[in-house]
Structures are given as structure tokens and as C-alpha cells.
């Protein structure tokens, strides 16, 4: 059973299921590449020293910690963040160890907007703004193909009326 099929009620089906845009992973990948490069360079510098094996262990330990913290954790965070539009509601789930989420029934959505910068337009992502019966509009950043998501969500809201 694919996520979020286990969260659906009878008669509800998934219309759209997205993770945040891949641009969130650019910096973590760069950190990984720089960490590996710097660690390899430093390991080569100390290879002829009598204490090289200790330095290599220290470099490996520091490198692994940096990669785990700045690359693996953001990837897992990206992978466990879901933006889902169903026939009845909008679901957002995020978090790794502690999870949080929000469900917005289609009947409570008043308006749907999107915005994106020039760079986001080139990358085909942006911010989706959902105004519901709550006090503040909800903003979802880094939504991939935000214009299509906007149109799909608007279509579902209109069909729900």
C-alpha cells in the first residue's frame, strides 16, 4: 500500500502526490561533494606521515558526521515530506522521527494561489497559498510544477461544490 493510501477514507482517491522540489537537495549534494573532496585532499597530504592512519580515521569520522548531518538528513527529510491532493482534502505530512501534518477539507478552501520567482519559474516550482476558513493562509514552499498543482487543486475545489 503506497503512502498515503492507508490514510484515505472510503470513496476517497489520490489525485496528486508530490514531494518538495529537488532544488532542496542542491546544497546537500554540494556539501557531500566538497566534504569528499576535502577529505581526500587532506588524506593525501598526510599519507607519508607516521600518524597517517590516525589522521585517516579522524578524517573519516568527521566526514561521515558532516555527510550524515548535512546530506543524509536533508534527503530523508525531503523523502518523508508529502503534499497530497485527494478528492476530499489536501494532506501535508512532514517529519522524520516526529511527524506533523495538516488536513484541509476541500469544502473549507476559499481560494488557491501560487507565486514563483524567475528562478523558480525556470525550475518549475513555487509557493502554493491555500486560503481556508482558518485565520491565516497556509503557504507551502518548493511545490514542484506549482501551476499544475494549482490548477488541479482549483479543479477539485470547484468539483467539490
Length of the chain: 161
Choose among 31, 30, 109: nearest CA to 69.
31
- How confident is the model at residue 61, as a pLDDT? 97
Domain ranges of the chain: 5-20+82-160, 25-77
Q: What is the mean pLDDT of the chain?
A: 91
- The yes or no reply on domain 5-20+82-160 and CATH 2.40.30.20 is no
Between helices 52-67 and 26-45, what is the axis angle to 10°? Answer: 180
- What whole-number percentage of the chain has pLDDT above 70? 96
- Residue ranges, the chain, pLDDT below 70: 1-4, 160-161
Q: Which residues contact 150 (CB under 8 A, 6 or more apart)?
A: 112, 113, 114, 128
Quote the pTM value.
0.83
DSSP 83: E
Amino acid at each position: 500500500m503506497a503512502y498515503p493510501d492507508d490514510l484515505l477514507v472510503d470513496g476517497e482517491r489520490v489525485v496528486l502526490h508530490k514531494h518538495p522540489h529537488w532544488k532542496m537537495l542542491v546544497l546537500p549534494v554540494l556539501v557531500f561533494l566538497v566534504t569528499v573532496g576535502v577529505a581526500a585532499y587532506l588524506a593525501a597530504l598526510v599519507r607519508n606521515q607516521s600518524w597517517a592512519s590516525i589522521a585517516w580515521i579522524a578524517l573519516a569520522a568527521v566526514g561521515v558526521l558532516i555527510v550524515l548531518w548535512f546530506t543524509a538528513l536533508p534527503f530523508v527529510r525531503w523523502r518523508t515530506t508529502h503534499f497530497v491532493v485527494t478528492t476530499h482534502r489536501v494532506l501535508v505530512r512532514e517529519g522524520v522521527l516526529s511527524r506533523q501534518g495538516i488536513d484541509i477539507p476541500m469544502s473549507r478552501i476559499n481560494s488557491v494561489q501560487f507565486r514563483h520567482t524567475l528562478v523558480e519559474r525556470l525550475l518549475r516550482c513555487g509557493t502554493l497559498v491555500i486560503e481556508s476558513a482558518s485565520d491565516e493562509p497556509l503557504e507551502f514552499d518548493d511545490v514542484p510544477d506549482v501551476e499544475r498543482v494549482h490548477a488541479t487543486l482549483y479543479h477539485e475545489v470547484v468539483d467539490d461544490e
